[in-house]
Amino acid sequence: MENNTIIYGRNSVIEALKSGKRNFNKIIISRALRPDNKINAIKELASNAGIPFVFADKDKFANYSEYNHQGVIAFVSPIEYVTLDDFLAEHKENSSLVLLDGVEDPHNIGAIIRTCVCAGINGIIIPSRRNAQINEIVEKTSAGAINHISIIKVNSPISALQKLQENNWWVIASDHHSNDNYYDIDFLNMNFIIVMGAEHAGISKSIMNLADFKIKIPMLTDFNSLNVSAAASIIIYEYVRQKLTAGRKNGKK
């Protein structure tokens, strides 16, 4: 696969190295950096994997000044996508997904991916059109979490949702007009996909019509404007709360 993208920042590079899923061309490290645990980890992981790394002066980083690279840039293969069919073959019971419908800000996508990985969500679906795509900003904002979750790109989110429903999945749409709060849903003992809509337009009507459940995050004021990544975190962590609570009831820590 052609090496035609970069990742930058210490955490992003470390997680990509740990995952073993990316083909590294090389890593450049600023000569001005003082050695620390993260730099040492990058050097050790790269050496063990036979990946070349070089120390460079600041002029080498001039072309990447728009990035918050923290003195570390890696040239790697693009993220490898998983097909929906392959995902379904592997995840048959009590599995979870998040679908982004028209999310335009790559920072939001990166933040949502990071939340999904922390919460144990199995995968995230990103439409190939009318949605921001995986890029360097998503990689950096996710802090490398993107390497630890299945990323599924689809041409038609509607077709994807229909296939999921045919395979015993439940579609849960975030809708501030709903009468049901996000904590009214029992996320356990089912396959579910949470749909989060665009920053300004929300979820498209055609996708909303497919939803099995519609949930809202209650507001105590008229300022009804949660960032989509913050809203996703709130909903996803209700699933985590329910799972941990059920585990304690069953005698599990």
With cut-offs at 50, 70 and 90, classify the pLDDT of residue 2: very low
- Give the three-class secondary structure for 51: coil
d(CA 137, CA 141): 6
What does the pLDDT read at residue 127? 94
Residues with Cβ < 8 Å from 38, sequence gap 6 or more?
10, 11, 14
Residue 19 has pLDDT above 50, yes or no: yes
pLDDT tens digits for range 67-102: 778 889 999 988 889 999 999 999 999 999 999 999
CA distance 69 to 6: 10
pTM: 0.87
Domains of the chain by start residue, with CATH? 5-76 (3.30.1330.30), 84-249 (3.40.1280.10)
Residue 101 has φ and ψ, to the nearest 5°, of -110, 90
